[in-house]
Chain A
Amino acid sequence: MPIAPSELEQHRSYLTAYALRRVGDSGLAEDLVQDTFVAALGAGQNFRGDSSPRTWLTGILKHKIVDAIRRQAREPVVSAEADEEVADFDELFTERGHWNERPAAWGNPDSALEQSQFFRALELCLARLPGRTAQAFMMREHLGLETGEICKELGITPTHCWVMLYRARMTLRECLQQTWFAK
């Protein structure tokens, strides 16, 4: 049974928010949702109602997001140099390489995963990562790509890739410490 266009509209704001969290660009997020609707209308026969329409649409949208992130990764990034300037955490460590300020305990951090506020904080921290660092991190952690595939997509060496992922994790750890766990 084809899905009705009016039914699609009910899910637009949810899907746009979902896409925005992953691509960080509202124009692109809206385009991806539009593409998803086009695909959904074309593939209406495939919707057999064994999952909710929202789950089904989210599944299509996920594929659109993956394609978009891959496409972005292949485009030359003007601000590539800016990524190189990200502090190498010199302020985090002493000259001898010890913590300036030891990481604080996070208690039982997994309880944060029950709170939608936490995801808002995480999204804000992700949005602060420089472009290519964010792309590498999302390819690794969101899409689950292996380092080798990320190197290919971004045209970088494995060592550079590990450095970018390290920077992403250290920056996110620090950001969540300040914006969530210290509160």
Chain B
Amino acid sequence: MRLLSCRESTRLISQGLDRDLAFGERVALRVHFVYCMGCRRANRQMAFLRRAVHALAEPREDSA
């Protein structure tokens, strides 16, 4: 199996939020995460972005 670059890894991380990744893609990402802290962080941060935009959409009484 070919190892992913960080550029490829971040693309898959993003696509994983929009479609079901193939088995091979998930495995390649997992392997990449084992030795790449930058992409582990990017993975958590992109997931956080989704939570943040959802929270933005909630009406907040304090922002009147």
Contacts and interface: CB of A to CB of B under 8 A. Distances in A.
A105 B40 CA distance: 10
9 contacts: A14-B63, A54-B59, A97-B6, A102-B37, A109-B48, A118-B52, A119-B55, A158-B19, A161-B18
B60 A116 contact: yes
A103 B56 contact: no
Interface of A: 13-14, 17-18, 21-22, 54-55, 58, 89, 93, 96-99, 102-106, 109-110, 112-113, 116, 118-119, 122-123, 137-138, 140-142, 147, 158, 161-162, 165-166, 169-170, 172-173, 176
Interface residues of B, number: 35
Contacts of B59: 18, 54-55, 58
Interface of B: 5-8, 10-11, 14-15, 17-19, 37-39, 41-42, 44-46, 48-57, 59-64
Contacts of A99: 6, 38-39
Contacts of B15: 162, 166
* Interface SS majority for chain B: helix
B36 to A, nearest CB: 8
Given A140-B18, A141-B54, A89 B7 contact: yes
A106 B48 contact: yes
A44 to B, nearest CB: 21
A173 B49 contact: yes
Contacts of B6: 93, 97-99
Nearest to B61: A54
A82 B54 CA distance: 27
Given A140-B18, A170-B10, A14 B41 contact: no
Nearest to B46: A169
Contact of B50 (A58, A97, A141): A141
Nearest to A62: B57
A104 B41 contact: yes
A132 to B, nearest CB: 16
